[in-house]
Amino acid sequence: MFDIGFSELFVIGVVALIVIGPEKLPRVARTAGHLIGRLQRYVSDVKADINREVELDELRKMRDSVQEAASSIETSVSSGLSQTEQDLNAALEGGGATPPAGDQVLPTVGDVAESSAAATSAPPVTEGKPATPA
């Protein structure tokens, strides 16, 4: 904290011995030590309070950013769900409406039934030769 060397402390001690006297010097030194100790504890408490406030402020900023991100995700998900719901309702109302370009067309129940019937009516092929029907 202060840049006081041994020579400065020695000069301060000699001056204190001359001014205060040898009888009162130990009591004054003890009192000065207690006061300096209290001052150091007070400074460390203030530093700890400041550090806590800084950390609390950082946590509040982090909480706010997480809440903003969560609300933006919630907004995008809800808008996507509402758009999908509107598309599905439009498809159901339109009956055979074609989906927008680029979307995958899912087979209907009739398409699946026709393809499974065609697969069961054809004889299985083994090693490049058709098997004889039983």
pTM: 0.44
How many helices and strands in the chain, by DSSP H and E?
3, 2
Q: What's the pLDDT score for residue 54?
A: 95
Q: What's the pLDDT score for residue 39?
A: 96
For 103, phi and psi rounded to 5 degrees? -85, 150
Residues in the chain, pLDDT under 50: 134
Q: What's the pLDDT score for residue 86?
A: 92
**24-39, pLDDT tens digit by residue?**
888 998 999 999 999 9
Cα 131 to Cα 103: distance, rounded to the nearest angstrom: 40
Give the Å distances, CA to CA, from 7 to 10, 11, 12, 13, 89.
5, 6, 9, 10, 91
